[in-house]
Structure 1
Amino acid sequence: MKIDTVKGGAYALTCTEACTVQAIRADAAFITILEADTAGQYSFVAPGEAVEVSDENAMVTQVLKPAALGVTGRSGIQSGGDVVLRNLMAEAAAFSGIVNANGGIHVPLAAGAETDTASVNRAYAMGMAQLVLMHQTRTYWLTSSCTATNGVTINHAAPGCYCEVLLGANGGTSLTLPTTGTVSGGDYSKILGYSIPFRHNGGAAGTWIKVSMLIGAGGEWTESLDAGMDGYRFRPVSGSAPSIARLVEVTLYYHEGYKSRVRELIGVGKPPGYVVRTTESSLNYDSNTNPCSAAYRLVITQSEISYTSELGAVVWLVMGGASGDTVVKLADIRGWDTYHTSVSPTLYLDVQAGEYGGRVHLESPTILNGIGNNTYVRYGLEPYQRSWITAEAEVPYKEPEQPSAS
């Protein structure tokens, strides 16, 4: 049946069966503008002065307040059905189910905006910031127990909080820096990671710094001081059985460009056996952004409490310099059981200076506690991270002939 329409007018079609709506052109040709698969109510915009509706029993009613233009409903929108929209603008909407926004949600929130929504969002953001701060715990250097080899002096410029070490030309040292002061640490500590502020001036060939931590408790370990860049600061005692503890080691060095290496020495499997997981990166920086001297901190944290050997944690390098890539993912490592995590970690550093000497700056680590069973850290770092990982390998641990510093 033919229905007279107003050009550009919006109409509601109520049909009793599947039908089509066709516009009638000036040359009497037809253009299909709507195909209704089943009985129901649909909408269309008339492009001309008449349309042809295939359902003789259908009702066509002009809509006085139409939906926003740009919304296409070839098959209509029905209760319980699905619809795909390219663009949607609405004054208000209510949803009874989950709203998924895979491309993200943009909320324009101008500073100083005098609206309820802006106020709520600012208050919420401030509350989240306070929540994050409350779940960080400072540690403090046990200055009387901090040691350095090769006659190097540790200058505790701000005792307990900040120290620095000066190295002469081609000098090296092994530092041992225990901490204390964590409040409310317990068996189930919810310690999901560590933030370690450090900086090492240097960028010449042969310059490197290695940061080592034993995360977790148990196991039998042998410590080797001044063992060089490739030597382990800690190795399992020969023939000993693996336990919860693992060695996590991060090395930054210069060799035909800036590089990093992360090694995780850990017992896995049943029965457990030690393996070494090594991740290497070629850091994409020039001399204006030395990953040693431009580093702010290392962040070692897991996404959530882990009782398995899955790769549930990440090592990041946070840095400044003349680059926009300031969050660098260095490696995936295994998560840990926080029941066995030390509330007073000890930091082990091995440092080698170049021909012009060097300086190491260190603040005491911050412990990153879980909010519930999760950590907020990865949600803040992952959107900004870059990675230049060149190799990942995991092999059974073999007792090496430990290299020496010479």
Structure 2
Amino acid sequence: DVRQSSATAEAAARTAGQSAAAASTSASDAATSATSAANSATEAQQALAAIPQVDASGNMTLAGGLTAAGAINANGGVNIPLAVGAPTSESGVNRLYAAGMGGASNIYTAAAFLNTDSLTTTGTATITKTVPWQMARIGIPAGAHTTIQAPFEGPSSQWNYSSWAGFSFVWRSTAAAKVTMGFGRGAKTIRTDLTTDSYTIIPGNGLAFNFGEILDITFDNVRDTARNGYTVRVREIYALNSTDGWQVKTTTSFIPATQNEPIPWTVCKIIYQQQAVASSSVYENLGGLWLMVTGAQTNNLYKIATCRGVSNFETGVGISRWVTDVINTTSGTAAVNAGPGEYAYYQPGNINPLFYGLDAIGTNAIESEETADFEDINIPL
């Protein structure tokens, strides 16, 4: 019995020892886990603190560099400040490329000389050749009206197809006026001494179907005192197919200007460019019409219409002349200043970077567009 009791006591002692060891191990494991958890929490806090924070304006500051294995999208643009001082080799190369692109743009343009010897007017208007074959001033007496035709001379280096992509020319009027120009395939009929609501140029050959276009720009010279500016109307005459016939797209634009910057007094250039060769049967909005104005306006380039554009089949030199109607309701002599122009040609790939450049820096002044069947308006003055 004594031996049995002693064995039982030893077994109990061993069990107690094992339990104590297990308890000690558990305590050690618990301590280790607590330490690990604390370390993880510290690391998480440190990692969170290391993440760049976004301020109230949505800006984020990165203390170090940015490395990415994949692409980074920057739809809002990336601002890269340039260091002040002598240009680095890289910036010097970039400037050379920029200068080269500017030169390339010049290469793909050609002068259009104003044929002052062939300028014509109706009524009592007078022509002064300020610079022969370059500049002219047409004077219109008070209460008179006139129709001016100004032809251009330039390269005719096409055969059945042309690389013509646009045209710009110097033009200014000190009274209400309307400028009309035709380009692309098909004959054009010019009429004189009509009201400004009439069409000065219409498709020729009895309105026979063709793929050319006519642009008609009207300046009423009436200042909107409530809106502080001037309304400009553009009417585009075009045809997509012989079934629908000729259409007219009327675009109304508004150019902000004070009473010291009247329109069209401050118009300096009229510009037409199209971004690529247009389809003859689909209206793709590939053409654009801009006004460059002078004066104290913050913006001086205004897009006043989008146009269908023309194909390069039988486009020729593009716009070969403009026609201006002036009705002088002022008490003094009104004047139209006519100057030279510039033809633009497609660059490789049949694209016109001039269109994209103008579209990027210009102000869109278009407010409304409406298309209807063409109905001729022919009201003599």
| TM-score class normalised by the smaller sequence | 0.7 to 0.9
Among candidates 30, 42, 47, match of residue 45 of structure 1? 47
1:184: Cα distance to partner? 3.4
Residue of structure 2 in register with 1:29 after alignment: none
Please give the root-mean-square deviation of Cα atoms over the aligned residues, in Å: 2.9
How far, CA to CA, are the matches of 1:136 and 1:284 in structure 2? Answer: 31
In structure 2, the CA distance between the partners of 1:95 and 1:214, relative to structure 1 (3 Å rule), is farther
Q: Deviations over 1:44-103 (max 9, x none)?
A: 6275xxxxxxxxxxxxxxxxxxxx86279xxxxxxxxxxxx9565765868776x64322
TM-score (structure 1 length as normaliser): 0.74
How far, CA to CA, are the matches of 2:361 and 2:82 in structure 1? Answer: 21
Q: Does 1:320 align with 2:294?
A: yes
8 Å CA contact 1:171, 1:357 repeated in 2 = no
Residue of structure 1 in register with 2:285 after alignment: 311
8 Å CA contact 1:260, 1:330 repeated in 2 = yes
Residue of structure 2 in register with 1:336 after alignment: 310
How far, CA to CA, are the matches of 2:73 and 2:336 in structure 1? Answer: 47
The structure carrying a bigger strand percent of its residues is: 1
Amino acid of the residue matched to residue 129 of structure 1?
G
Amino acid of the residue matched to residue 387 of structure 1?
N
8 Å CA contact 1:242, 1:272 repeated in 2 = no
How far, CA to CA, are the matches of 1:357 and 1:311 in structure 2? Answer: 39
Among candidates 163, 166, 181, match of residue 193 of structure 1? 166
8 Å CA contact 1:241, 1:272 repeated in 2 = no
In structure 2, the CA distance between the partners of 1:94 and 1:215, relative to structure 1 (3 Å rule), is farther
How far, CA to CA, are the matches of 1:147 and 1:177 in structure 2? Answer: 7
Q: How many corresponding residue pairs? A: 334
How far, CA to CA, are the matches of 2:316 and 2:93 in structure 1? Answer: 39
Residue of structure 2 in register with 1:297 after alignment: 269
Gaps of 5+ in 1: 7-20, 25-31, 34-43, 48-67, 73-84, 202-206
1:228: Cα distance to partner? 1.9
Residue of structure 2 in register with 1:248 after alignment: 215
Residue of structure 2 in register with 1:15 after alignment: none
1:106: Cα distance to partner? 3.0
1:5: Cα distance to partner? 8.9
Residue of structure 2 in register with 1:153 after alignment: 126
8 Å CA contact 2:182, 2:214 repeated in 1 = yes
1:193: Cα distance to partner? 1.0
How far, CA to CA, are the matches of 2:311 and 2:265 in structure 1? Answer: 33
Q: Deviations over 1:110-150 (max 9, x none)?
A: 67533122112111111111111111111112333221111
8 Å CA contact 1:274, 1:397 repeated in 2 = yes
Partner of 1:45, secondary structure, is helix
Q: Deviations over 1:256-279 (max 9, x none)?
A: 532211000111235351011101
In structure 2, the CA distance between the partners of 1:110 and 1:145, relative to structure 1 (3 Å rule), is farther
In structure 2, the CA distance between the partners of 1:95 and 1:141, relative to structure 1 (3 Å rule), is farther
Q: Deviations over 1:352-373 (max 9, x none)?
A: 2222221111112211212221
Residue of structure 2 in register with 1:273 after alignment: 245
How far, CA to CA, are the matches of 1:285 and 1:332 in structure 2? Answer: 22
Higher-Rg structure is: 2
How far, CA to CA, are the matches of 1:111 and 1:363 in structure 2? Answer: 41
Pairing 1:12-51 to 2, within 5 Å after superposition: 22-23=41-42, 45=47
TM-score (structure 2 length as normaliser): 0.78
8 Å CA contact 1:244, 1:340 repeated in 2 = no
Choose 359-368 or 233-242, whichever is displaced more: 233-242
Residue of structure 2 in register with 1:139 after alignment: 112
Residue of structure 2 in register with 1:367 after alignment: 343
The structure carrying a bigger helix percent of its residues is: 2
Instruction: Give % identity.
Output: 25
Residue of structure 2 in register with 1:350 after alignment: 325
Q: Deviations over 1:192-227 (max 9, x none)?
A: 1111211112xxxxx4121111110214x4321011
In structure 2, the CA distance between the partners of 1:243 and 1:326, relative to structure 1 (3 Å rule), is same
8 Å CA contact 1:5, 1:46 repeated in 2 = no
How far, CA to CA, are the matches of 1:186 and 1:153 in structure 2? Answer: 38
Residue of structure 2 in register with 1:70 after alignment: 52
